[in-house]
Amino acid sequence: MLRALTETKKAVLEAVRMRLHEKEALAYLQGVGHPMKRAMYYKHKKELESKKLERLHFIAMLGFEDQHLERIDTCELIGKLYWQNYHICKDPYKKVMILKEIKELQPYISSYYEATKEVIKPSGGQEDPSLPENTTPAATTNEWV
């Protein structure tokens, strides 16, 4: 089974994501405390490339639920803070801008709640029987998730 990436491999992955050329990547790695020679850089890069599917399975098995809940909580916190700032704000233009931001946040929250339905479905495709009748996560508050 694949384990979480080492700090060195994470740094190599960051260099790859930033599309750094070899010299830039080696300089970046040196700067973040992971100095290495060219051959080692390419060895790590090749290993990361060969284990993409395993990494996806690892993320799906261990980290998805936590990340999913964290994103829902973050969006709801942002929404709450927007409303607090809206009520404090005296400038009508800024109030409109805050309302616009609140509106733009809604599709994200809705999509996370919709995805929550899929997360809590048992493998047979049925809704989670622990949910109250006629209740879906999309109709609930953060206390449900």
Residue 86 in tokens: 């809206």
- 70 band by pLDDT with thresholds 50, 70 and 90: confident
Task: Give the model's pLDDT for residue 145.
Answer: 35
108: number of CA atoms within 13 Å, CB side? 17
102-129 pLDDT, tens digit each:
999 998 888 888 877 776 766 555 554 5
Longest alpha-carbon distance in the chain: 60
Query: Could you tell me what percent of the chain has a pLDDT over 90?
Result: 48
**Mean predicted confidence (pLDDT) in 78-105:** 94
Burial readout 98-108 (b: 16 or more C-beta within 10 A, e: otherwise): beeeeeeeeee
Indicate the burial class of 55 (C-beta count within 10 angstroms; 0-12, 13-18, 19 or more): middle
Residue 67 has pLDDT above 80, yes or no: no
Task: Give the model's pLDDT for residue 143.
Answer: 40
Task: Give the model's pLDDT for residue 108.
Answer: 86
